[in-house]
Amino acid sequence: MRAVFPLLALAALTACGLQPVYGGGAKSAAVQGLGAIQVSDIPGREGWLMGNALRDRLSIGGRNTAPRYRLDIRLDDQLEGLGLLNDDTIGRERRTLRARYQLVDLTDDTILLDATAGSDAGIDVVSSEYATIAAEQSALERLTQEVADRIVTRVSLTLRKEQ
């Protein structure tokens, strides 16, 4: 009986229709498509961080083909004070990074994907201004990594459906 249950579970899993995005390794449609994406320049420090994070993730299969797609991104980086202390100073901040992105097919300039991704982080404001600025910058670096992961996941799914 113990041997039958894992076999039934395995059979049920294969029948559910789930397929790995990167199934087939470097030859898969998603990996080939990711390697053919050119990331447009994004202005500002947050744009530089986002561009680097995306290029790192998009080069998983290597870049051996001419760009077939272009990824256009507009970032919205907000830093707002949340908590007020007894002396009317801010005790907590929230940094929010949102990205509106479009995946464009360069062969005919059609937009294959138009979506948004975002994340936010809480920051404690401490008495040291340097520590607070360092925390704000660290939060921005983490947020660009998270948002880049979300963008690449969504783009991978779109490319898998296209091919």
Average pLDDT of the chain to the nearest whole number: 83
pLDDT surpassing 60 at residue 139: yes
Nearest Cα to 135, choosing from 143, 125, 150?
Answer: 125
Give the largest Cα separation in the chain, rounded: 68
Task: Please give the CATH topology (third level) of the domain spanning 23-162.
Answer: Double Stranded RNA Binding Domain (3.30.160)
pLDDT at 52 (0 to 100): 95
Residue type, 8: L
| For residue 30, pLDDT beyond 80 | no
The residue ranges of DSSP E strands in 8-68, in sequence order, are 37-39
CA-CA distance, 155 to 112, in Å (whole number)?
A: 9
Give pLDDT tens digits for 74-90.
999 999 887 777 676 77
Tokens read off for 54: 């995306």
Write down the pLDDT at residue 121: 93
